[in-house]
Amino acid sequence: MLIREGATVLTRRVIDRLNAIDDIEVVALDTGDADVIVDLRTGDHDGLARRRSSATVEGEALMAEVRRVGAKRVVMLSSSLVYGPHPNSRVPLTEDEVVRPEATFVFARQLASVEHVLDRWRRGSPDRSVAVLRPTVTMGLGASSSLARALAAGSGRRLGDEEPAAQFLHIDDLATAVEAVVVADYDGVVNVAPDGWVPGDRVRALLGRRWRIPVPQWVREQVWALQWRFQRGPIPPGLGPYTTASWVVANDRLKALGWTPTVTNEQTFVEGTEHPWWASITPKRRQELALTGVAIGIAVLIGTLVVVGLRSLKISTPR
pLDDT digits (tens, 9 = 90+) for 57-110: 777 888 888 888 889 999 999 999 999 999 888 999 999 999 999 998 888 998
Dihedral over Cα of 197, 200, 202, 203: its sign: positive
Can you tell me the distance from the alpha carbon of 174 to that of 314, in angstroms, rounded to the nearest whole number? 71
- Within the chain, how many helices (H) and strands (E) appear? 11, 7
pLDDT score recorded for residue 232 = 42
Q: In CATH, what number does 2-281 get? A: 3.40.50.720
Please classify residue 85 by burial: count the beta carbons closer than 10 Å to its beta carbon, then call 0-12 exposed, 13-18 middle and 19+ buried. buried
pTM: 0.77
| H or E element at residue 2 | strand 2-4
Stretches in the chain below the pLDDT threshold 70: 5-7, 28-32, 48-55, 153-162, 207-237, 275-295, 297, 308, 311-319
Dihedral over Cα of 210, 102, 270, 265: its sign: positive
Residues 6+ apart with CB under 8 A from 16: none
**166 beta partners:** 198
pLDDT score recorded for residue 149 = 78
- pLDDT tens for residues 249-275? 999 999 999 999 999 999 999 888 875
pLDDT score recorded for residue 233 = 44
Can you tell me the distance from the alpha carbon of 290 to that of 293, in angstroms, rounded to the nearest whole number? 5
Amino acid at 44: D
pLDDT score recorded for residue 9 = 86
Given a contact cutoff of 8 angstroms between Cβ atoms, the answer to whether 121 and 66 are in contact is yes
Can you tell me the distance from the alpha carbon of 276 to that of 255, in angstroms, rounded to the nearest whole number? 33
pLDDT score recorded for residue 207 = 67
| H or E element at residue 37 | strand 36-39
